[in-house]
Amino acid sequence: MIWVFDSSPLIYLNKVGLNWIFEQLEGEKFVPTQVYEQVITQGKSRGDADALVSEELVKKGIIKVITIKNDFKEMLKSLKEELHEGELEVLALAKVKGGVAILDESIAREVGKVFKIEVHGALFLIFLMVKKGKMRKEEARDKVDLMIRKGFRLGHEEYLEFLDLLENIERDK
């Protein structure tokens, strides 16, 4: 499995102490250079603690930084009004590598679906850890509540859906 992360999942999972999730994911994990710039370079200059956590994941080789230049990315540039540069790079990298794009912006996820890219968000990674027995349901709910308090955007209906899905997760045996 190949995972490609956008800024928001990295920032918010790291803000609430869920950086261990990145180590638990099987396969290769990437961030495009634009996401590295947003999360680590700019984050460190702002003094964001999560930037240091993300940097440590890169230093340990858990997440690799990769530059993306291809025709698919050039084609996506026409969507620059709707998507940030980092989101464009995540989608392009996921498409080229046949990986999963982990993005929290709904527009970016819709674009990914149009181009037949598997897309999920930070909450999917939390569900995955609960399903694998690495996290309790209560801890997952508490961590998402904390993410919201720290600025993670999640609509009321989406939150209720999250709680419902969480309650009905069957652990892998």
CATH number at residue 4: 3.40.50.1010
Read off the pLDDT band of 40 (50, 70, 90).
Answer: very high
HSE on the CB side for 133, CA within 13 Å? 3
Question: Whole-number mean pLDDT of the chain?
Answer: 90
81 class by beta-carbon count within 10 Å (0-12 exposed, 13-18 middle, 19+ buried) = exposed
Cα–Cα distance measured from residue 167 to residue 173, given in angstroms and rounded to the nearest whole number: 17
Cα–Cα distance measured from residue 165 to residue 170, given in angstroms and rounded to the nearest whole number: 10
Cα–Cα distance measured from residue 52 to residue 41, given in angstroms and rounded to the nearest whole number: 10
Residue with tokens 């997760």: 169
Q: Tell me, what's the pLDDT at 71? A: 61
Q: Which of 52-56, 68-72, 157-161, 165-169 has the highest mean pLDDT?
A: 52-56
For 41, 65, 68, 94, the CA distances from 45, given in Å and listed in that order, are 6, 19, 24, 28
Q: Tell me, what's the pLDDT at 88? A: 86
Residue with tokens 């261990």: 20
Partners of 29 in beta bridges: 3
124: containing domain: 1-173
79 touches 115 (CB < 8 A): no
The pLDDT of residue 72 is above 70: no
Least confident of 70-84, 112-126, 152-166: 70-84
Domain count, the chain: 1
Percentage of the chain with pLDDT > 70?
A: 91
